[in-house]
Amino acid sequence: MTGLAHKTIRAGIADLGDEQLQASGRVRRAGGGRTPEVVKDPELLDDLRALVQDATRGDPESALLWVSRSVRNLADELIERGHRTNRTMVGELLRGLGYSLQANVKTRRAPDIPTATRSSGISTRSSRRAWMPSSQ
């Protein structure tokens, strides 16, 4: 009926009765999940710091630091150096190092509204209705 194997259901029922698991306040047992890449590859952080050292911007007195290089380019260079990484991981590592990931100004800016639509005062929806044939 549930689509689950009976062994899975029985394991879940056993977990509900496990006092040690309930006392820990965790949903899963400790030790699950992947080993972080920085634990498996201790040189990863050192190489990332070396890559962003020249591209670091911001006031050293302030808590706000950012990198002028894209996360994708940093990930590509780390891969060329033999590290297993991706842009998401590089972003998380940079946040852990105290960097703020700043968006490009062009991606934060609102899209331009055509001046003809803005000045005419007529919305594009109503102007479409004027020339479209009726659905009757």
Q: For each of the chain's 136 residues, which pLDDT tens digit applies?
A: 788 899 999 988 888 888 877 777 777 667 777 888 888 999 999 999 888 877 767 666 666 677 778 889 889 999 999 999 999 999 899 888 888 776 555 555 555 555 554 444 444 444 444 444 555 4
Assess if residue 132 is contained within a domain: no
Q: Which helix (H) or strand (E) holds 73?
A: helix 71-80
80 assigned to some structural domain: yes
Q: What is the DSSP string of 12-54?
A: HHHHHT-HHHHHHT-SS-TT-SPPPHHHH-THHHHHHHHHHHT
Q: pLDDT value at position 109?
A: 54
The structure tokens listed for 100 are 């703020």
Is 110 domain-assigned? no
User: Domain span at residue 38?
Assistant: 6-105
What H or E segment, with its residue span, contains residue 57?
strand 56-57
Domain count for the chain, please give it. 1
Look at residue 24 in the predicted model and tell me its pLDDT.
Answer: 78
84 contact partners, CB below 8 Å, separation of at least 6: 37, 41
